[in-house]
Each structure stands twice: as C-alpha cells, then as structure tokens.
Structure 1
Amino acid sequence: MSSANHFLLRLHGLASFALLCALGTAQAVQITEEYSYDGEVSQNEACRRAEERAKTKAIAYVLGETISSEEQMLCRSTSGKTDDTCEFNQMSWSIIEGDIRGVKLIKRSEAEKRGDKAWACVLTLDVDVVVPTRKPDPKFQVGTEIYFLVPDARKPSRQREKVLRKVFHAGDELILEVKSTEPAHLALFGWLPNEDNKVYRIDSPIRPNCPQGALSAPDTGKTAESYCMTASWSDAYKDSKKTYDEWLILVATKTPQKWLDTYDLEQFKSTLREIPLDQRRVVRRPYQLMK
C-alpha cells in the first residue's frame, strides 16, 4: 500500500472516530410492541403506530422515561379511558431527546385478534438508540404552569383570579407562567397535531395584560416570564369531535438561538437535537381544547 493511500485511510478512520464521538455511542434494544385497530384506524396505520411505540419504549429504556405522568393523565381526562390519538401524539414527542441510528424488523404480525371487531399489529424490532455524550445540566431547571384567567369586567387583568387548568374552551384567556433557576433565552411554540402537524412560533409575551412583570425574554437577570394567550378553535377542526389535544412547547436555552416561524414536527425535533443537552431545556405543556 502506498504511503498516500495509507494516509487517506488514516484520515478516514480519524474522521469516522470523530463522527462517532460527536453522535455518541449506540445501544441496541429488542422491543415487541403492538397497536390495536378497528374501522377507525387502518392496518397500515396501526403498524406505523406500533413501530413508533416500539421506538418510544426503546428510547425510554436507554435514556429514561420521556412521557410525563401529566401527559398520560391528559389522554384520560375527558372520557376516563385512554385516547389512542392523544397517546400517539405523546409518543411523537418522546423521540425528541433520543436519536435512533437504525431499526431492524425481526417479526411482524399484522392481524392478531383482539376481540370481535378488533385486531392488532404486533412488531418485534431491534432498535439502535444513540446515547448522547452530554447530559442535561442539573443546575439549569425550568418549570411552567398554565392558568385560566377568570373573567371579571370589574377588575383589570393583573387583579383577576388565576386558576390552574388543563382543559380550555375557545375564547378562554390563559397564561403560561415560566420560572427558571437561571436566566435563559425563551422561545414558545404551539403544536396542533390534529391541524397539520406543524409547530408554530408564538410571538413574544403580550403586554401589559400579563400579571407577572413587564420585561420581555430574554433578560440577563430575569428568571421568570409570563405569556398571555387566548384559546381559539382551529379552522381544521371540522369533524364531529368536541375535544382536541394541543401542546405548548417552551424551549429555554443558555445562548440565543434563531428560530423559524413554522416547522414541520420532524424538522423541529431535529433542530432541537442540534442544541446540546446541557445547553437547553424543553418543557411540554399539554392541554385540551373543547367547544
């Protein structure tokens, strides 16, 4: 082998090693998961959702649980039983913190009986989950709460009563309050999975209606912020459903970031993963909108 070829191979090896270090190592996990279907969900869609469930479970196994108890409760809050579409939306978000290098199908059963008029697509997959080389900064914590602003024409907004809520009606005024252990650069997004699966940037805090402070994020010495919004019924909500699940997504970063006004979901998750784990916090706030 010539010295030139040897040099090129050595460079290729070093580049590959550097890339692996940047991405992190991968851990292989074998997962069996299923998704039931009837007349409302097709067999192909059930298999797709079973695959997403398997990926979610693999990431949770390697990196820890990524769906909060609050999100799990939201999908049962109105009917008392789990809403499969709501649950699937949760799974779509869970893959934000973990990247998957590869998926290999081991076994697929598309029509296992689950009742008189129900079947399940059952998949067994080998999933390679990338383990990040950097961990979240435990000193950088961000929390949020959503409040309903009680209507009262006799009082200005700052003096009106606030009530914690997870379910809102169109026209309700709501406030998202943010607290951080450190000053942070904030960006607030809305995700309406039943509209077009887009993620929309929500404008800067509206003043002076918010009851908490008058400074806009980011501020070098500030660790609290409020966003005031009015719940609205999407034009896409034209079917017979009376309740839809929606999400507020708060991104807090240690350094300023540039954001687009609109992302598709996968593009948004990819953008978030480009920010190191120790430089960001992502807080998901689910709620339900009713007519």
Structure 2
Amino acid sequence: MKKVYLILLLFIFSFANAEMVEVEGVYRNTGDIAPNETCRLAKERAKLKALERVTGQVISSEEIEKCSEIDGKSNCERNQFFLSSFNGDITEIEEIDKQLDTEQLNSGELIFVCKIKIRANVVAIEQEKDPNFDFNVKLNNYNFRDGDNLVIDIDVSQNMYLTIFQFLPYEDKNYQVYKLFPLGGEKNFIQVDTLKLPKKNKYEIYFPENVRKKSIDEYLFFIGSKKNINWLNKYSKFEDLKKQFLKSKSIVKSKYKQYTIIK
C-alpha cells in the first residue's frame, strides 16, 4: 500500500506545473495568403497566448510585427512559437471553435479574418530561477543586406557564462544551429558590464545561395548560465539544442533576437 501511495505522489508532483487554458488567436490576412493559411497563423498565435499565460514569457508586438515584413509569414510565426517554448511545452491541444470571415478595409480591399479558440494543456518547465539573473541584448540593425556587418551589445545584471547560437530555420540539408560565441578560444565568462561582439573579427551577413525568396529571417539565441555548460558547436535541429537546455541543472536565462536579410 505504501508503494502505491508513493507512486501516486510522484505522479501528482510531476504534473503539478501543468495548467489547462482556453485562449483565442486572431489573424487578419492583409497579404496574399490563402484562407486556410490565415487560420493556421491564427492557431499559432493562440498557441503563443497559451504559453504566455502559463509561463509568463511574452512575445512583444514588435517581434510579431517583424513576421509581416518578411517573405514567409507562417514559417516566421512558427519559429517564434518554438523559440518561446523553451519555458514551457504544450502537451495537449484541442480546437474548440473556428470562425473564418471577411472584412472590408477603408481602401475597399476584402481580407480574411480567422479566429480560433483552443484548449491547451501547458506544462511550465521548472528550472532553478533567480529573478535578479538577467541580461539585455541589442543588435545594430534588424534588416540586413548581403555583406553587412552584425554587431551585438549585451548588458548583464550578474556575472554569467554566455553562449550565442545562430538559428537558420530554412536549412533542411545541413545543420540548422551553429554556435556563434564563444569560438576559437574566446572566453564566455561575462562580468557585470556592457559587452560588444564581435571583439576582434567581423560577423558578416550573407544571403544563402540555396534560398530563392526575396528575404529570409534568421535568429540569434542567447543563453546565460551561472555554470559553464559544455554546448556543442552545432546541432542538426533546434529541438536537439532544446533537449540539452532542458537537461541543464544550472540557473539559465534565454532570449532570442530575430533579424531579416534582404536579397
């Protein structure tokens, strides 16, 4: 009887951080997007809202707006959803309502508007946390052309080990994730101060030859940790990086920045 009681306790504890929420996502198609794609984007926004409600991590309207400026809105919002899921996972999802209507703009243009309501079971990922352990990131630009240089400014609130990965979501043959910093003997222990990267060489932007779109989005994923973590230099998929991230026992903080490369 004691064994059964212990198993029940473990079962309850393992799901104590799960929460069932109902949220609605809305997407207005102001571009050349099919109705079914409009509803898929509405569902992605609903999933983001579900994560935000449980984990507290919010994607700014500025980040969402960037997806409307690139060639491939649906992929962009899907990438934002995955990058935001490092603090939580959606283990179950049910679509409970869906409305697809049309709306006329002042210009006379007729657009599709899709509203999707979902019920989702969101599990907040429990890791050791320190509210005073944080950092801010700023890029010198968010729209680049081939040959431009990327500069990163970072402010840290405490001493930390910092690692930066570059995420190439369009890459389907080679690796999607590459470590950008530290490399080549660089030290990634950052003391309380403002850090400017790169220190010596250049981070030169280039438009990939295998992409036939007019613009693409790439991401920088920043991980600050109290202990040095032995990350790999590259990962086949972003999911592989997430698996190692979740295994970390150190206090960690993650953020991402999106930028667009115009052909």
Question: Which category of TM-score, normalised to the shorter sequence, fits these structures?
Answer: 0.7 to 0.9
CA 1:124 to 1:288, structure 2 compared with 1: closer, same or farther past 3 Å? same
Contact 2:70 2:216 (C-alpha < 8 Å) held by counterparts:
no
Is 1:181 matched with 2:181? no
Match of 2:197 in 1: 226
Deviation at 1:264, TM superposition (A): 1.8
- SS for the counterpart of 1:289 is strand
Q: For 1:1-291, what aligned pairs fall within 5 Å after superposition?
A: 6-20=1-15, 24-35=16-27, 40-41=33-34, 43=36, 45-75=37-67, 85-109=75-99, 111-114=100-103, 119=112, 121-133=114-126, 136-147=129-140, 165-196=141-172, 199-205=176-182, 216-219=186-189, 224=195, 226-227=197-198, 228-239=202-213, 241=214, 243-260=215-232, 261-275=234-248, 279-291=251-263
- 1:114-153 alpha-carbon deviations (Å, 9 max, x no partner): 5687545543211122245557422212122223xxxxxx
Match of 1:155 in 2: none
- SS for the counterpart of 1:96 is helix
- 1:232-253 alpha-carbon deviations (Å, 9 max, x no partner): 11123213x2x22221111111
CA 1:177 to 1:262, structure 2 compared with 1: closer, same or farther past 3 Å? same
Bigger drift between 244-253 and 177-186 goes to 177-186
Deviation at 1:167, TM superposition (A): 1.5
In structure 2, give the amino acid aligned to 1:201: Y
Deviation at 1:96, TM superposition (A): 2.5
CA distance, structure 2, for counterparts of residue 113 and residue 220 of structure 1: 52
Count of residues in Structure 1 that have an aligned counterpart in Structure 2: 252
Deviation at 1:259, TM superposition (A): 2.4
Contact 1:186 1:217 (C-alpha < 8 Å) held by counterparts:
no
In structure 2, give the amino acid aligned to 1:252: G
Deviation at 1:289, TM superposition (A): 1.0
CA 1:11 to 1:31, structure 2 compared with 1: closer, same or farther past 3 Å? same
Deviation at 1:53, TM superposition (A): 1.6
Deviation at 1:279, TM superposition (A): 0.9
- 1:141-185 alpha-carbon deviations (Å, 9 max, x no partner): 2122223xxxxxxxxxxxxxxxxx222111112222333222222
CA 1:238 to 1:77, structure 2 compared with 1: closer, same or farther past 3 Å? closer
- 1:156-215 alpha-carbon deviations (Å, 9 max, x no partner): xxxxxxxxx2221111122223332222222211122334496412344578xxxxxxx8
Unaligned segments of structure 2, at least 5 residues: none
CA distance, structure 2, for counterparts of residue 135 and residue 256 of structure 1: 15
CA 1:112 to 1:195, structure 2 compared with 1: closer, same or farther past 3 Å? farther
CA distance, structure 2, for counterparts of residue 133 and residue 206 of structure 1: 30
Deviation at 1:56, TM superposition (A): 0.6
Deviation at 1:31, TM superposition (A): 1.6
CA distance, structure 1, for counterparts of residue 190 and residue 63 of structure 2: 32
Contact 2:101 2:113 (C-alpha < 8 Å) held by counterparts:
yes
- SS for the counterpart of 2:197 is strand
CA 1:73 to 1:35, structure 2 compared with 1: closer, same or farther past 3 Å? closer
Contact 1:34 1:121 (C-alpha < 8 Å) held by counterparts:
yes
In structure 2, give the amino acid aligned to 1:216: E
CA 1:102 to 1:182, structure 2 compared with 1: closer, same or farther past 3 Å? same
Match of 1:211 in 2: none
CA 1:234 to 1:184, structure 2 compared with 1: closer, same or farther past 3 Å? same
RMSD: 3.5
The share of aligned pairs that are identical, in percent, is 24
TM-score (norm 2): 0.76
CA distance, structure 2, for counterparts of residue 50 and residue 263 of structure 1: 29
CA 1:105 to 1:145, structure 2 compared with 1: closer, same or farther past 3 Å? closer
